[in-house]
Chains A and B, each alone.
Chain A
Amino acid sequence: MAYQITQTSLRNGTRVILAQNPNLNAVTFMVGFGAGSRNETGVPKGTAHCLEHLTFRGTKRLPNQLAIETVFDHMGADSNASTWFECTNFYATVPAKCLPTVIDAEYEAIYGSLLRHRDIRKETLGPISEEALMYLDDPESYSSELFHRVLFGRQTQLGVPIVGTPKTVATIRQRHLLSFRRQHYVPANTVIILAGQFDPDEVIPRLEATFGQRPPVDYSATVEPPNLPRQPRQTAVYRRDLKQVNLNIGFPGLEHNHPDEAAMEVLVNVLGGRPSSRLFRIVRIQSALVYRIMAFAMPFIGAGEFRVETKISPKGLMRVANLILTQLAKLRKEPVSEKELALAKDNLDHGQTVVLIDPEEMADDLLDQILMTGRVVTPEQYTAKIRAVRPDDVLRVAQTVIQPERCVVVGVGPVRDLSPIIELAQKKLGE
């Protein structure tokens, strides 16, 4: 009933992951490249994202966006693309019988897009600028971007928003896009995922005839390290029109492939990953001062982030900050109980079964695994990794990550100064 996962590659080295589930009537086709906004060396910030947008602006055969989208929409495809700091992906979920059409269309769009000057101009002045402004109007996205800027440093590749800024985006030219595509969209940096219903004997020849035709070239990429805090940092963006402060309290986190990554997942789950987590019970249920409160951890190459995010009226700000910091301090001081640990492990383990039945989620998860670790982590291996976490592992991660001198606090809303929270953090976490 679940997926059968196998790994193969095309003759030019492109990695292919097949996750077959004959009980579904749909299939997700995903093409991922291990490069994103962090790889924009020598090109303007926002180039990777702009290239993703221009992919749908026209090829020789399909001259404009309408022609390309019509191919996808006719199939009822749920299709999209996204650019992250360290990868870019293109995907479409379609009825199984439409798979050959989708493979051809994605290939044509990705490698055949003309990247015409007038389209670049229109796209950067229009939709891309609007997208950047949309994130600014949404206080939650704004606060997340601000957190990255303060944690990783203003001028670093992780500190600048993926979409770039209106200023940098305006300087993107055709040569930047071509150079990024030539350098990063190469077989050695490509992963193709199929999840759902399909016949591998039909799919592989089709992939060889399309993505398999790209010439193999050597690939290597280096990314610059971020400028992580050595002392606490805080920034408030005052917005009088908002009712709540969109607050982030966080720290540098663990990088990709860190031996403690499973313990970190458990820590986040215990602290704020679900409605029975500590933050939810103590801050939301007991204080009744917040509606949304979550903990996150995100690994990157050579860096990571860990943060607690909430929204709070200014009157309750210090009280909620105090409750959050109390919980962070507790994680540093006391190992989690066996019972709480068991609940977190069950949640993560069973949760993967419920979530990964969806072919899109499955493809997304496999892409992450293969790009970041170079291999597929099967659901069984994931279970084993999570089950092996012990209370002292979680304690060690907490003591490594939650350090008062590396605390970062940002807020967007009716607040001008967050230094009282930094001071409180020094006191509470230094005890």
Chain B
Amino acid sequence: MHRLSNGTRVIIAPNPHTPLASIMIAFGTGARDEIKAGGYEHGISHFAEHMMFRGTRHRPNKRAIVGWFDANGAKYNASTSHENTIYYATCVASGLDMAAGILTDMVQNSLFRPEDVEAESGVIVQEARMYFDSPEDHVPDVAQRAMYGDSPLGDDIVGTEASIRGITSEKLATYRAAHYVPRNTVIAVTGNVNEAAMLAFLEQCYGGISDTGIGSESYLPAKPPGEPTIIMEARPDLTQAHVMMGFLGYKHGHPRWPALKVLSTILGGNMSSRLFDAVRERGNLAYHVASVPESYRDTGELCVVAGLDADKLERAIEVIVRELVEVKTNGVTAAELEAAKGCLNNRLLMAVQDPGTLAVRLALSTLNLGSPKPVEAQIAEVDAVEGGDVLEVARELLTTPRFRLAVVSEFDDPSPYHALAERLGE
């Protein structure tokens, strides 16, 4: 890991065997950093991300910003999560300096002209309505509330229509000054890149801004409710039940994270997993069921996601709970353990061939853990997981008090699911 003179962390991972290169600028700020008492608004992180494409003093409008990317067939975009905001581009390697120049310009010099802010709020309101209308996109927002309650981590990322419309040019500038600062920034560059030359170039493009601001230490900790929580959102016109069942888990860097990844893979990480077999193949209760682990600065979760047959919703939830009780009672087999490790490690090796994917992993692990996590270290951690570790994680996490459920369907009665949650025990 390198540092620019202002402290910005830079990770460069050259690979001369690809014709492409990728650059990512990641900020450790997201929806949970929008402290309302500080004058910010719900949704301002995501709003700021949109505004970075609306023009800088060097590139006056959106066309001037994206024109070069489009003319070079680059893959580029940005995204905002609860804890991070990232900007990235993958292009033919000869264009990397240009891509780096544009991205660093966007994140430092965007103008936030009031007329652009006004117009963009209309676009973002439409984006929020789009997520609301798609049950698959909406159920994660309901689940976030069920998991983390009335805290910034329990809010959605885009904001409410009222909060979006309340965001102004001044608020955006205040937010940027506080959070888009070197101590809160990681730049990752991968692919066909000259390390020394790129470092010097980044110093020139991004080394000039001073390291003031508050970084990401100011967030409000999650206050998850201490008892099972169920949110049923009724939509009379839906034909399926869109479900997320979560269990409060581990924060970034927790020693049991590798064992949790293995557990999640065995439960619902692929098509030979227990839940896929029990719910889809044997139960005929769904088209889609999977489990995913997630970690945050102070908390985390293991989450089962499913699109279920609404007529057999109770039965499906019962089958899922039964599988969870089974794994915390009897653990996993040696064959399952080996298969899950092979699956995780091979997937990782294949994924990081793509320079864009590698850049995301390096940048986010640096923000979340303090230093970039090498692929080899991740593989070694997974290899070291034993059956007993997986059982311990299952026993610790799959309990009634940690149980959270979000259902978007035609139903609104949570009572059957409270009874099922009790079966998990302490």
Contact = CB atoms under 8 A, between A and B. Distances in A.
Contacts of B287: 127-128, 130-131, 134
Size band of the B side of the interface?
A: 35 or more
Interface string B342-354: 1111111110011
Contacts of B62: 275-276, 281, 285
Contact of B350 (A76, A138, A240, A276): A76
A133 interface: yes
B283 to A, nearest CB: 8
B20 A74 contact: no
A2 B19 contact: yes
B212 interface: no
A65 B130 CA distance: 36
B123 A291 contact: yes
A93 B350 CA distance: 8
Contact of A353 (B19, B286, B347): B19
A355 B20 CA distance: 10
Contacts of B73: 346-355
B58 interface: no
Contacts of A184: none
Contact of A243 (B121, B132, B238, B342): B132
Contact of B134 (A139, A348, A353, A354): A139
Interface stretch (B252-260, B269-277, B324-332): B269-277
A136 B17 CA distance: 44
Interface in B345-382: 345-350, 353-354
Nearest to A26: B350
A295 to B, nearest CB: 14
A363 interface: no
Interface in A222-244: 239-244
Among A76, A122, A138, A244, which residue has the most Cβ atoms of chain B within 10 A? A76
Contact residues on A (Cβ < 8 Å of other chain), bracket: 35 or more
B237 interface: yes
A164 B130 CA distance: 27
B271 to A, nearest CB: 4
Contact of B240 (A64, A73, A134, A244): A134
Contacts of B227: none
Interface of A: 1-2, 23-26, 56, 64-66, 69-70, 72-79, 93-95, 98, 122, 125-131, 133-134, 136-140, 239-244, 246, 274-276, 281, 284-292, 311-313, 342-343, 346-355, 357-358, 413
Interface of B: 17-20, 53, 62-63, 66-67, 69-75, 90-92, 118-124, 126-127, 129-130, 132-136, 235-240, 242, 270-273, 276-277, 280-281, 283-288, 307-309, 338-339, 342-350, 353-354
16 contacts: A25-B349, A56-B271, A64-B281, A66-B272, A74-B342, A76-B343, A127-B284, A239-B237, A275-B69, A276-B67, A288-B121, A292-B127, A352-B73, A354-B73, A355-B75, A357-B18
